[in-house]
Amino acid sequence: MTPDEAKARLATTWVASRAFVSRHRIAVGVSAGVLAVLVLLFVWLADRLPISQALEPLPNRAIILLDNQGKPFARRGAYKEAPVVIGALPQHVPAAFLSTEDRRFYSHIGVDFRGIARAMRANSRAGRTVEGGSTITQQLAKNAFLEPERSWRRKAQEAVIAVYLELRLSKDEILARYLSSIYFGDGVYGLGAAARHYFGKAPEALSIGEAAMLAGMVKAPVNLNPVDHPKAAGARARLVLEAMVATKAITRQQADTSGKVVVRTTRADLPVGGYFADWISPQVKSAFDGPGYGEVRVTTTLDSRLQRIAERAVANRMKGAAKVKAGQVALVAMRPDGQVVAMVGGQNYRQSPFNRAVQAQRQPGSAFKLFVYLAALRDGASPDDLIDAGRITIGGWTPANYEGGEGYDLTLRDAFAQSSNTAAARVWQTAGGPAVVQAAHDLGIDSPLKADDATLSLGTAETNLLELTSAYAAVAAGKGPSFPHGRPFKSPPPQAKLDPGQREALLDLLAAVVQEGTGRAARLSQRAYGKTGTTQDHRDALFVGFTGDLVVGVWIGNDDQTPMNRVVGGGLPALIWRDVMTGGLKAGLIAKDRAPRPRFEPGPEREAEEEFDPERRVPRWLRRILGL
């Protein structure tokens, strides 16, 4: 073609183009406008869309909680592993997902119009939605960049983002992002985490059957969870295997030999909650906060052996609790240094995760008298001092006795052991309200206390069981305040030693409760120390005490504060306490101590007397008559 001919043809084409534009100026204008909008939209997406978001770790890593023996007992938080690399996976792994989710993945542009048409026909014939038309790219756009919403507007956004992703990324990069971010149920995100969670292996090691089961879960991650719904998951996996045969990803023989899959539930069987786990999780989260792949394994102070003993004791004793109108129970067990080793926050965690050991603020009743009597001991009193236990009125308030303690002259020991309310009120009046509040604070009580409220002597100020038990732990340790904790301290907080004489006197009082007072149901084969507590109208019943190197607090009551049928601290709570301590001693989990001391011990002179001494064999009244 000569230059003149080329110029002539170009001129002809130009004239024809102008004529076409002139005749279809509206259509051309609209097309140009749409193209301009798309260009601007893609430029905006390039600037605003975080294209690698699907590959990023979750805001907080999953946490595996370990007991003090290093054994896992709970898991918390969502779990995501590092992104997968398509080239590193066996061919059957991505093929399992492509066979069921997007067979034309490598040939469409992000939106599969043939797939949409096929889905519309299938749904129309079925009269309901039985098939979706979204491509893997659209699913990635939806999961990674859009809010969960069902609307045509959202569908349009999904399609636009899908096309944009196809222009920016390779097919393998899109597939890797998809597989690394989809949800597999049970708090698990991404293929890497799912392979480890359900099969205990890396995604590169997945078998054909395992890959088919994971691919089948994408449709309904909760209902097709192989741990909770093994039959449904297995049936879905077989459908995936058939799809893989249909797409020639595997042979019929491979499909027939890959149907049986064993789920390894080492991680999946771990509960995601529990009273202790719920309590410790905020402390753990603050220490290991921040994004990251994988999971963090955190050692706690929980002793799973004592936890089982505590749960068994609670379950056995609460079987007949409905007869006495007792609906709930809480228990805390800790070492004297504040390490919490067992916790029961209610009868059934699944029915009620509310932790009554930590979250319930209840009146401690007479269990608060520990601080009242400590204030008296600091004021110079001793267990053998006499106290008037008769009727008393303070500011118009006249206490009555609910757990015994009748009489007018009792030693402090007997008044404490018999839980005399009138004696406690008089001790409070003598020692002073501020001294009582200070004694409580020194042992670890942080709940608000009113120093000018005389009813405080009977435990009317609300506290929680964890706090109260930790205060008793301070007495066991001989230093306070006590700091209950679920993770080992790197450096223990400062504490002040209790006065040795005052602590010895407190131990004397607490031992008297168990040996001859209101806590006799808690007697053990070794020395035990504790205090009962019963609130007005039997709304709360408690027993808190220690033996060896274990401190345990037990509470029984109703969430709505309705009265129980004469349940007292020396009843069910003391029995549960004794069962825990007995089980712990038998298992060797509690330090051994000496046998309880008898209240009245013979003096050394009398022990040295001859066996035939008439003063030992003849009653005192008869000796006076005979002049002996």
- Lookup: tokens for 435: 């001294």
CB 76 within 8 A of CB 284: yes
Task: Give the residue carrying structure tokens 């039997």.
Answer: 538
Alpha carbons within 13 A on the beta-carbon side of 321: 26
Identify the DSSP state of 336.
Answer: T
Element (H, E) at 322: none
Which string of DSSP letters, residue by residue, matches 345-408?
Answer: -SS-TTT----TTTT--B--GGGGHHHHHHHHHHTT--TTSEEE-S---BTTB----SS---SS
- Lookup: tokens for 619: 């009653």
Three-class secondary structure assignment of 52-113: CHHHCCCCCCEEEEECCCCCEEEEECCEECCCCCHHHCCCHHHHHHHHHHCCCCCCCCCCCH
β pairing state of 386-388 and 409-411 = antiparallel
The CB density around residue 113, as the number of other CB atoms within 10 Å, is 10
The CB density around residue 305, as the number of other CB atoms within 10 Å, is 18
The verdict on whether 101 is a catalytic residue reads yes
CB 357 within 8 A of CB 345: yes
Q: What is the Cα–Cα distance from 442 to 480, expressed in whole angstroms? A: 6
The verdict on whether 610 is a catalytic residue reads no
* Residue from 366, 420, 470, 482 carrying the catalytic annotation: 366
* Residue from 81, 101, 295, 467 carrying the catalytic annotation: 101
Distances (CA, A) of 187 to 61, 77, 236, 309: 11, 7, 20, 30
The burial of 57, by beta-carbon neighbours within 10 Å (0-12 exposed, 13-18 middle, 19 or more buried), is given as middle
Q: Supply the residues annotated as catalytic.
A: 101, 366
